[in-house]
Amino acid sequence: MKSMHALDIETVEMTFDIMKYAINRISNTEPELGHPKKETDLMKMVGETITKEGIGGEKAFELFRDVLAKATVPVDHPRHLAFVPAAPTRAAILFDLVTSAASVHGAYWMTGAGGIFCENQAMKWLVSLTGLPEKAFGVFTSGGTAANLSAMITAREYWRELNDENKAYKGLIITSSGAHSSIKSMANVIDADLILVDDDDEDRLTGEWLQKKINQLSFTDRKRLFAVVATGGTTNAGIIDDLESVADVCEKEKLWFHVDAAYGGGALAAPSVRHLFNGIERADSITIDPHKWLFSPYDCGAIIYKNIELAKNAHSQKGAYLDIFKDEGAQGFNPADYQIQLTRRLRGLPLWFSLAMHGTEKYAQAIERGLELAQIAAEKIKTRDYLELIRDPGLSCVLFKRKGWQPDDYIDWTYTNHQAGFALVTPTKWTKNGHSETAARFCFINPDTNEKDIEEILVTMQ
């Protein structure tokens, strides 16, 4: 019986087919904007693929290439402006292939020294963007949710160690009403309560609002409060909280200050808006997602700590089979010690290669382009009497509405453009002074998006 790992003619030919597909896909500047199909429809088209005898690599690959891949929506299409899309560089995508082919376990220096060295080079640059103290450092995670969760576990364990009495309390976290949904999920996972603070007139969490909420807490709730989560660029509107004043309150009240900059953190590299993040350098921990605005492929997040030893105290795992690294070369930075995942691939390696290839200046230019596209779109919206700009762009997010449209009109518009393979722009909800309305939303990440794309999308709203 032939081994699954045997290298035969079929495997070689399949390798060439897959590499050809990968090259074509990477070199395609405007991939097909696929759309999902019902599971029952896919089953009719594809059938059962996992069988006792196997269907063969050639058949399986054909099904993926010709049917299944077309039932997905590529995030790097220049007219994919929904959610927070992504635009990984070709260098990063190529090195994602290398990362998988290298088959390195990235949890420990013992097994991944060379790759972790590369990750740490990229991490040094990320940390430098934040302005955190010299000894601050971080580790790559699967995304913002894992990064936020890792940070809050670290914060909670630090709080518990401060006072044995704290171990008797269920923890409490304060964040803003505009915080990402992962903050609520994270609080549920660690069994902490969450209090939402209303935003100010500019829809930001400020130190004033935070202090008012803290002052309103009962004696017991104040004892339970251990962390505040601010946002460095909300995913809905690109809003950055008043990090400086929030940091003031956190220092005064001796609270862990975490900044979720999963989306907006990429803009730390853009000189034109760097000042909007003033105060982030005072955070105890920061989340940034390179797979959002730093041109890495999915999935790559990052968690950065002011004092990384606190993370090690919270996350380092012990096990008889882990304590075997005796030779001198095996001693080094172990990413598994600083976040929730023991099993991990070298998620930061594609970012490292792309940075090494292109340089940080080109990264800054590409991020500035996203900011510029948002301003261009806003100006184009203002010139059309059938459209209304809801608020000035926040980072690369633009909220606007079509006058006279109802919620179903936005949904129909999205569906029509997507089914035609033209664009994916989805509606959202915007709430102001207690009033909620449906709106259209652009999020510009891809520097390959151009003014013509914006013009043609806006025309479809006439």
- SS3 per residue for 264-286: HHHHHHCCCCHHHHCCHHHCCEE
The yes-or-no verdict on residue 7 having pLDDT over 80 is no
Tell me what the mean pLDDT of segment 17-26 comes to: 93
Q: Mean pLDDT, the chain, as a whole number?
A: 95
pLDDT over threshold 80, residue 127: yes
> Which tens digit of pLDDT belongs to each residue from 181-228?
999 999 999 999 999 998 888 899 999 999 999 999 999 999 999 999
- Going by pLDDT thresholds of 50, 70 and 90, the confidence category of residue 319 is low
- The larger pLDDT score, comparing residue 403 to residue 31, is at 403
Looking at residue 383, its pLDDT comes to 98
Cα–Cα nearest to 348, from 164, 38, 138? 138
Q: Give the span between the Cα atoms of 433 and 272, in whole angstroms.
A: 30
- The residue extents of the domains of the chain are 1-68, 95-358, 361-460
Residue 1 has pLDDT above 60, yes or no: no
- The predicted pLDDT at position 30 comes to 80
Instruction: List CB contacts of 462: < 8 A, sequence separation 6 or more.
Output: 386
pLDDT at 324: 60
CATH number of 95-358: 3.40.640.10
Burial of 35 (0-12, 13-18, 19+ CB in 10 A): middle
**pLDDT of 312 over the 70 cut:** yes
Q: Is the per-residue pLDDT at 362 higher than 90?
A: yes
Could you check whether 95-358 and 361-460 share the same CATH topology? no
Task: Write down the CATH superfamily of domain 361-460.
Answer: Aspartate Aminotransferase, domain 1 (3.90.1150.10)
Residue 338 above 90 pLDDT?
A: yes
User: Which residue intervals of 302-348 are DSSP H helices?
Assistant: 308-315
So what's the pLDDT on residue 2?
Answer: 66
Share of the chain above pLDDT 70, in %: 98
